Amino acid sequence: MTLLYGLITGLVFGFLLQKSRVIRYDKQIGALRLMDMTIVKFMLSFIIVAMVGVYLLREFGVVELSLKGTILGPNIIGGLLFGLGWGLIGYCPGTAAGALGEGRVDALAGILGMLVGASVFSHTYPTLKASVYTWGDFGKITLADLLGVNHWVIIAGLVVVYVLVLAFIERKNL
Amino acid sequence: MTNKGSPWSPYLAGALSGVLGVLSVLVAGKYLGASTTMVRAVGMVEEAISPALVETPYFQKYTLAIDWQFLFVVGIMAGAFISSLMDRSFKVQAVPDMWAKRFGTKPLPRLITAFAGGVVAIYGARLAGGCPSGHGLSGLTQMSVSGFLAAAGFFLGGIIMARLVYKGGEQ
């Protein structure tokens, strides 16, 4: 059943990603060249809705958070490395699949590269584990944990920040 | 714009996807993410070649089989395919318009760049612990500190590389 949910969720998500054109190379590189912020509008809209939704449902005890560990070394270095690669491929792992679905075959070259990269990573992981992964381990924490403030205060603050970012983007016609 | 069909507003599609993300957590207990699938896929290939290849601590962290996320990624491909057929925006294209404007329409340079970018991007995503779906969307949804760090890295690294790739050209 879980497998079926995965497929259905993917179908709907792929449909929405394609309909709003955020899976396109031109949109992703457009954002990184600060020319077209379509993907940022998509992402922030997602985050605002999902953040409020998930935390609301959590108050009723029907959903749980599933946090990824905060370790400064891998989060920051890995994040930057991903970004450098993203600027070349112009797709992220999910959107590469979607771009291939709408016929963009350069995404297939990118996916093959990702498979090779995943293999290289899994064979170099022991070295990383002994080094990068030990730099600045804070465990699984949210911004609310870090600041020691009630999570709804942070959520409200973030919504304001995100809306201001979107307003700025709109004013600049990006 | 060369887009055929009528694109939806990214605000509408993003908000609807946000609802989808919440439903996925509620119904299946799954936050959206994509990059682990690359590990599983290549792990299954390596296992088929020789089981000894996947006796690494990293592959052993994962069950090397088709799972929720694997089908989620397959679903994205199928959903985009269906959507692009419906509004007739499906197009077999090896060189994106923006790339063609700057570097011409020869496919090979684009394909090599995409391949190289894929290698670097996934290495970074696995090191960071996720991609723009897992860290970006799902991480920021949960206000995970790791999500903010990774997302900042994604965009900073991406802006730097996009500048390097497109430097000197107005288009």
Q: Token digits for A170?
A: 């709109």
**Cβ <8 Å between B114 and A113:** yes
For residue range B131-160, what is the model confidence (pLDDT) as tens digits?
A: 999 999 999 999 999 999 999 999 999 999
pLDDT per residue rounded down to tens, chain B (171 residues): 444 568 999 999 999 999 999 999 999 999 999 999 999 999 999 999 999 999 999 999 999 999 999 999 999 999 999 999 999 999 999 999 999 999 999 999 999 999 999 999 999 999 999 999 999 999 999 999 999 999 999 999 999 999 999 997 655
pTM over 0.90: yes
* Residue A82 exposure: Cα atoms within 13 Å on the Cβ side: 32
Q: Are A38 and A21 in contact (CB under 8 A)?
A: yes
Chain A residues with CB under 8 Å of B15 CB are 45-46, 48-49
User: What is d(CA A8, CA A5) in angstroms, rounded to the nearest whole number?
Assistant: 5
Q: Are B126 and B41 in contact (CB under 8 A)?
A: no
| Dihedral sign for Cα atoms in the order B143, B153, A147, A72 | positive
For residue range A66-102, what is the model confidence (pLDDT) as tens digits?
A: 999 999 999 999 999 999 999 999 999 999 999 999 9
Please give the pLDDT value at position B6: 83
Q: What ipTM describes this predicted complex?
A: 0.97
Q: Least CB-CB distance to B9: which of A20, A106, A118?
A: A20
Q: Token digits for B63?
A: 């069950």
Q: Least CB-CB distance to B118: which of A2, A39, A113?
A: A113
Give the closest-approach CA distance of A76 to chain B in angstroms: 6
